[in-house]
Amino acid sequence: DTAVSQTPKYLVTQMGNDKSIKCEQNLGHDTMYWYKQDSKKFLKIMFSYNNKELIINETVPNRFSPKSPDKAHLNLHINSLELGDSAVYFCASSRGLTDTQYFGPGTRLTVL
């Protein structure tokens, strides 16, 4: 069983489009995260939710909006996609904010 899963694995889209990436965890964790890994493999946190409440909101354009319908899901919606949004987006989860984070397989987003 996959602990943290993401869909889709690959996403290719045109500039200006709106897209969503979904994340689900079956670990029973209370905390979920979104990270962005750029072309230089630099991994940076974007958001964190704890019990469906937004806890961490880094300096990310307003075009990015996380949504947590329940503790097991954290989706990422991106409006008006730009070329610079091309990256690999990783979802992660942990029991609490200071516990080990378990990562999903990533979603490679390509904006043309």
Which residues of this chain interact with another protein, rule CB under 8 A? 4, 31, 33, 40-45, 48, 50, 55-56, 90, 97-98, 100-106
Q: How far is the CB of 69 from another protein (least distance, A)?
A: 21
Q: Between 67 and 105, name the residue whose CB sits nearer to another protein.
A: 105
Q: Residue 99: CB partners within 8 Å, gap ≥ 6?
A: 31
Q: Between 9 and 18, name the residue whose CB sits nearer to another protein.
A: 9
- Report the DSSP pairing between strands 31-37 and 107-111: unpaired
Q: Between 15 and 54, name the residue whose CB sits nearer to another protein.
A: 54
Q: How far is the CB of 45 from another protein (least distance, A)?
A: 6
Please tell me what DSSP assigns to residue 14.
-
Q: Between 77 and 106, name the residue whose CB sits nearer to another protein.
A: 106
Sign of CA dihedral 93, 19, 8, 46: negative
Q: How far is the CB of 25 from another protein (least distance, A)?
A: 12
Q: Closest Cα partner for 34 from 1, 56, 62, 15?
A: 56
Would you mind telling me the total number of residues written for the chain in this entry? 112
